[in-house]
């Protein structure tokens, strides 16, 4: 069986570093690529060798597939891992890599192609009886027929671009009067944004949860599921907090979703690591949304509860090895949470807030993992996704994992830029999150910037109280309280004395 000797990671930052760490543990030499903006990045320093691809913009560096292949050939690289984003779901790139005689650490170009189109994906799984959101399973060709279908499905409906991704290319239509206008807009937007005007209709689920299943398949045709990840805490249809397992998924539901996900993977002869996304309604009925044919940002929570290194498994599968475990061998151990620490300002609509990491001190301790790609003093470049780090915790239960995450957030010291840390703390402490009763509307329902101020005031009060107790303890022998003073009175007195 083939053994990969030298792996090039066609990516940057935390994910590049995370992949290379595993490669090194497997005795594989690593090659990093970087743009001029990332010259001093930890992923460049960590690699055995590193190559500059070009100027900072992605289309002049990380998206230059042909150049990456050329570099790989020149350096004797025998495998390329694409990470997530950039070229990871580009079927043409995967094909060129394979044609150049290099292993692509990911699924076949055919699987990427089918699952890259939401409509082709729906069609591929049609015959397997996978539950799907009511709507059309083909591109809309004429307005009258589409309007009729929307009526049958029932408003509100969602118009989606077949080639859409990253939360973009979706329009909600509340009632029939806006249908035609919204449809025309959606088509022209899809055409200009994705170069493909194909759109389709889905029933708009008003109170949805986003729950996805991690799958892993080998080239021999075996596929297993590594349980679910709850990804309902989103802003702008993009995830910020993920956890495994989900607070609402019972064992039978887990089995049903897992088996459906395996069928989706089998429908496109999938191998490697992949994610089948489902939307779950208020009755906990689940519907297939799409499949992501790559390693996900949030994969660590699955690693924490299963004890499997997903990158290692990807590499072994890419080498042609059969999976070393069966479905029955997999169990869930404890609970894991991940928060995405973005350089964004939650007080200002989560707009990116780039700049210098003046202070950057990571939290430490048992059950804490930080996947990042920056060091103190570095700038967060404007050219890429503004994620600074992923903070991941693991503990025996959901409650304990939440407590551990709050502690870790409090120990994370970042100055120089605004981050989503305080926002994530707000979510974790919110009753609705704690009870598990939430959906993708959490942010719009419960969050406003002033909530961060309230939280701050509460923290200040706790600090003040702690300070007061401390001073009291140190001075109690010299302080006198009259035995008949009222409790409230005496408290006020203490405070007056202290100040």
- N-to-C CA span, the chain: 74
Residues 218-277 that bind ligand ADP (CB under 6 A): 234, 237, 277
> For residues 94 and 23, is the Cβ–Cβ distance under 8 A?
no
Indicate whether 346 belongs to the interface with ligand ADP (CB under 6 A): no
CB-wise, 56 or 134, nearer to ligand ADP? 134
Q: Does 114 bind ligand ADP (CB under 6 A)?
A: no
**Selected range binding ligand ADP among 23-31, 75-83, 163-171, 423-431, rule: CB under 6 A:** 163-171
The yes or no reply on residue 154 touching ligand ADP (CB under 6 A) is no
Is 136 a binding residue for ligand ADP by CB under 6 A? The answer is no
For the bound state, the minimum distance from the C-beta of residue 195 to ligand ADP, rounded and expressed in Å, comes to 16
Closest CB to ligand ADP among 193 and 471?
Answer: 193
Give the residue with the Cβ less far from ligand ADP, 168 or 400.
Answer: 168
Nearer to ligand ADP, 44 or 125 (CB): 125
Number of residues that bind ligand ADP (CB under 6 A): 19
* Closer CB to ligand ADP, 41 or 246, in the complex: 246
**How many CB atoms are closer than 10 A to CB 191?**
15
* Run of H or E residues at 392: strand 387-395
Among the listed residues 85, 107, 164, 217, the single contact to ligand ADP using CB under 6 A = 164
Q: Tell me the chain's radius of gyration from C-alpha atoms.
A: 25
Query: Does 386 engage in binding with ligand ADP (CB under 6 A)?
Result: no
CB of 267 to ligand ADP, least distance (A): 17
Dist. CA 308–CA 270, nearest whole Å:
19
Cα-to-chain-centroid distance, residue 123 = 26
Q: Pick the binder of ligand ADP from 7, 63, 94, 289 (CB under 6 A).
A: 289
CB neighbours of residue 368 within 10 Å = 19
The CA-atom distances, in angstroms, between 310 and each of 23, 106, 188, 306 are 12, 12, 39, 10
- How far apart (Å, rounded) are the C-alpha atoms in residues 101 and 196? 31
Helix (H) or strand (E) holding 423: helix 421-429
261: CB partners within 8 A, 6+ apart: 213, 215, 225, 276, 278
By CB under 6 A, name the one of 55, 154, 166, 377 that touches ligand ADP: 166
Task: Rule CB under 6 A: say whether 131 interacts with ligand ADP.
Answer: no
Stretch that binds ligand ADP, among 119-127, 161-169, 191-199, 371-379 (CB under 6 A): 161-169
Q: Least distance from C-beta 16 to ligand ADP, angstroms?
A: 22
Distance CA 99, CA 173 (A): 45
| 69 phi, psi to nearest 5 deg | -65, -45
CB-based contacts of 269: which residues, under 8 Å, 6+ apart?
A: 108, 110, 111, 221
If we measure between CA atoms, which residue out of 423, 243, 429, 430 comes closest to residue 338? 243
- Selecting among 171, 294, 369, 425, the annotated active-site residue is 294
Contact string (CB under 6 A) for ligand ADP, positions 171-210, x = contact: -------------------------------x-xx--x-x
Is 171 designated active site?
no
Distance separating alpha carbons of residues 204 and 345, to the nearest angstrom: 29
CB of 166 to ligand ADP, least distance (A): 5
Cβ contact 353:345 at 8 Å: yes
Which residue lies nearer to ligand ADP by CB, 50 or 241? Answer: 241
Taking Cα atoms as reference points, which of 342, 412, 404, 330 lies closest to residue 370? 412
Give the whole-angstrom CA distance, residue 106 versus residue 120. 19
Given candidates 134, 165, 197, 367, which one binds ligand ADP under the rule CB under 6 A?
Answer: 165
Q: Interface with ligand ADP includes 440 (CB under 6 A)?
A: yes
Closest approach of ligand ADP to the CB of residue 164, in Å: 5
Q: What is the DSSP string of 47-105?
A: SSEEEEEESSSGGGTTT-HHHHHHHHHHTT--EEE--SSTTTT-HHHHHHHHHTT-EES
What number of other Cβ atoms are within 10 A of residue 348's Cβ?
A: 11
Minimum distance, C-beta of residue 196 to ligand ADP, in the bound complex (Å) = 13
- Closer residue to ligand ADP in complex, CB, 418/439: 439
Residue 221 DSSP class: S
Residue 102 vs 233, nearer CB to ligand ADP: 233
Minimum distance from residue 172 beta carbon to ligand ADP (Å): 8
Smallest distance, ligand ADP to C-beta of residue 107, A: 17
Judged by CB, which is closer to ligand ADP: 80, or 215?
215
Strand, coil or helix: 238 = strand
- By annotation, the residues acting in catalysis are 294
Contact residues for ligand ADP (CB under 6 A)? 133, 158, 164-168, 202, 204-205, 208, 210, 234, 237, 277, 279, 289-290, 440
């Amino acid at each position: 069986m083939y053994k990969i000797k030298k792996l090039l990671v066609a990516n940057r930052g935390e994910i590049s570093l995370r992949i290379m760490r595993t490669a090194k543990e497997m005795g594989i030499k690593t090659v990093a690529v970087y743009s001029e903006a990332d010259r001093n990045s930890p992923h460049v320093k960590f690699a055995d060798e590193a190559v500059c691809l070009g100027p900072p913009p992605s289309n002049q560096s990380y998206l230059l597939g042909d150049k990456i292949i050329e570099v790989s050939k020149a350096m004797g690289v025998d495998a390329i891992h694409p990470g997530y984003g950039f070229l990871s779901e580009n079927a043409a790139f995967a094909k060129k890599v394979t044609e150049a005689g290099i292993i692509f650490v990911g699924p076949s170009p055919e699987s990427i192609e089918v699952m890259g189109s939401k409509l082709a994906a729906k069609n591929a799984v049609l015959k397997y009886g996978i539950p799907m959101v009511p709507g059309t399973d083909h591109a809309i060709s004429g307005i009258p027929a589409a309007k009729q279908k929307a009526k049958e499905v029932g408003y509100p409906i969602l118009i989606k671009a077949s080639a859409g991704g990253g939360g973009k290319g979706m329009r909600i239509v509340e009632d029939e009067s806006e249908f035609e206008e919204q449809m025309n807009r959606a088509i022209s937007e899809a055409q200009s944004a994705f170069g493909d005007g194909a759109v389709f209709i889905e029933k708009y689920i008003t109170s949805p949860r986003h729950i996805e299943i991690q799958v892993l398949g080998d080239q021999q045709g075996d596929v297993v599921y590594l349980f679910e990840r709850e990804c309902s805490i989103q802003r702008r249809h993009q995830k910020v907090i993920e956890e495994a397992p989900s607070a609402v998924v019972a064992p039978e539901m887990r089995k049903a979703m897992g088996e459906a996900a395996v069928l989706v993977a089998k429908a496109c002869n999938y191998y490697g690591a992949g994610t089948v996304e489902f939307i779950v309604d208020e009755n906990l009925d689940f519907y297939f949304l799409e499949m992501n044919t790559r390693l996900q940002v949030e994969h660590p929570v699955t690693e924490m509860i299963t004890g499997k290194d997903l990158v290692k498994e990807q590499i072994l599968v890419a080498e042609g090895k059969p999976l070393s475990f069966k479905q029955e061998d997999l169990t869930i151990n404890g609970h894991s949470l991940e928060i995405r620490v973005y350089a964004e300002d939650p007080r200002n609509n989560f707009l990116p807030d780039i700049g210098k990491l003046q202070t950057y001190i990571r939290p430490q301790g048992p059950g804490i993992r930080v996947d990042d790609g920056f060091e103190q003093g570095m700038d967060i470049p404007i050219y890429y996704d503004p994620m600074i780090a992923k903070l991941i915790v693991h503990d025996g239960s959901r409650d304990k994992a939440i407590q551990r995450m709050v502690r870790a957030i409090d120990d994370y010291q970042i100055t120089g830029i605004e981050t989503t840390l305080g926002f994530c703390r707000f979510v974790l402490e919110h009753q609705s999150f704690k009870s598990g009763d939430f959906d993708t509307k959490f942010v719009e329902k419960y969050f406003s910037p002033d909530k961060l101020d309230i939280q701050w005031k509460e923290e200040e009060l706790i600090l003040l109280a702690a300070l007061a107790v401390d001073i009291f303890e140190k001075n109690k022998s010299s302080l006198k309280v009259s035995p008949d003073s009222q409790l409230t009175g005496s408290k006020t007195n203490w405070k007056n004395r202290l100040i």
